[in-house]
């Protein structure tokens, strides 16, 4: 019995101190940026098309393949540039892929994410990109902003898929992350 008493006292002290001062989640900020979701229908999301050159807006990853540059425009698609003269690359086309963040190329197939889907595109002719295959729901879908400690308008799945977030003036946003 005498051997158990010190262990019991030590356990009681640990439980007592563990229960005191436990931090709580921070309160939502009362000032700062507030975000609103921007929606697109799944039909719009799953439309991948080759368009005329577009201005670079939110440059992400760059992939070099043969004489071409493939430049990710985060969230909207991939720019195709002729890099025959590296001092003066020429914009050729823009592959519109909503929600695109990543790209990879093997042979003449470009692989890209398209919100929740994985698309494989034949880029043998960069001016006429063709969809080869789509794997639907290959990626987890998160409707919440990537940032933490922000207030935002709660997403409504009935309005479509959230493709990006924009700053907005919203009174009493009900969501916080």
For 24-64, how does the pLDDT look when each residue is reduced to its tens digit (9 = 90+)?
555 555 556 788 999 999 899 999 999 999 999 999 999 99
Domain ranges of the chain: 34-176
Residue 155, pLDDT > 70, answer yes
The pLDDT of residue 84 is 96
- Mean pLDDT computed over every residue of the chain: 85
β-bridge mates for residue 113, sequence order: 118
Percent of the chain with pLDDT over 90: 51
CATH entry 2.40.30 includes domain 34-176 = no
Entry pTM:
0.74
* Cα–Cα distance for residue pair 67/4, rounded to 1 Å: 77
Asked which of 7-11, 58-62, 129-133, 171-175 is least confident by mean pLDDT, the reply is: 7-11
Q: Closest by alpha carbon to 63, among 96, 109, 132? A: 109
User: What is the arithmetic mean of pLDDT over 80-84?
Assistant: 97
* Cα–Cα distance for residue pair 16/9, rounded to 1 Å: 10
The pLDDT of residue 16 is 59
Q: Decide if 117 contacts 139 (C-beta within 8 A).
A: yes
């Amino acid at each position: 019995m005498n051997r158990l008493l010190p262990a019991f006292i030590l356990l009681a002290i640990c439980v007592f101190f563990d229960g005191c001062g436990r931090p709580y989640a921070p309160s939502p900020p009362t000032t700062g940026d507030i975000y609103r979701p921007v929606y697109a229908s799944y039909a719009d999301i799953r439309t991948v098309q080759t368009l005329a050159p577009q201005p670079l807006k939110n440059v992400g990853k760059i992939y070099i393949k043969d004489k071409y540059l493939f430049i990710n425009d985060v969230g909207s698609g991939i720019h195709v540039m002729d890099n025959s003269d590296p001092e003066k690359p020429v914009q050729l086309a823009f592959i519109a892929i909503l929600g695109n963040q990543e790209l990879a190329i093997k042979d003449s197939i470009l692989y890209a994410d398209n919100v929740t889907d994985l698309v494989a595109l034949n880029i043998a002719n960069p001016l006429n990109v063709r969809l080869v295959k789509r794997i639907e729901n290959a990626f987890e879908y998160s409707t919440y902003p990537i940032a933490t400690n922000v207030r935002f308008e709660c997403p409504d799945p009935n309005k479509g898929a959230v493709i990006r977030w924009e700053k907005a003036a919203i009174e009493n946003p009900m969501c916080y992350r």
